[in-house]
Amino acid sequence: GAVVSQHPSRVICKSGTSVKIECRSLDFQATTMFWYRQFPKQSLMLMATSNEGSKATYEQGVEKDKFLINHASLTLSTLTVTSAHPEDSSFYICSAPQGGIQYFGPGTRLTVT
């Protein structure tokens, strides 16, 4: 199956700072990638659709100025959490489709202190 990686796997940052998370499709190209957030013991909730070469599409209730998405190449999408606060602490997971199937990255655990 296709492989999607994320970096970093874990990050701890101070309140008010920004954090960038990378999502890469390793053996295929993806014009679209998806970013999800998962709080403890909950399901995955879609945050936004990342579109290569154009603006991301955000789900209702997700602040686009807080969660900046850049999809500059066919294998890389980045999510930047700006001015992070403790309530942004979560597990962030990306996915990329290949052959009609969504393949997920291993996730990034963000802790904001």
Partner 1 sequence: GQQLNQSPQSMFIQEGEDVSMNCTSSSIFNTWLWYKQDPGEGPVLLIALYKAGELTSNGRLTAQFGITRKDSFLNISASIPSDVGIYFCAGSKAAGNKLTFGGGTRVLVKP
Residues that bind partner 1 (CB under 8 A): 1, 4, 6, 32, 34, 42-46, 49, 59-61, 91, 93, 95, 97-107, 109
CB closer to partner 1, 1 vs 86: 1
Number of residues written out for the chain? 113
C-beta of 17 vs 110, nearer to partner 1: 110
Nearest-angstrom CA–CA distance, 110 and 89: 5
- Least spacing, CB of residue 90 vs partner 1, in Å: 13
Least separation in angstroms between residue 59's CB and partner 1 is 6
Rounded CA-CA distance 2/33 in Å is 13
> Which of 26, 79, 21 is CA-nearest to residue 50?
79
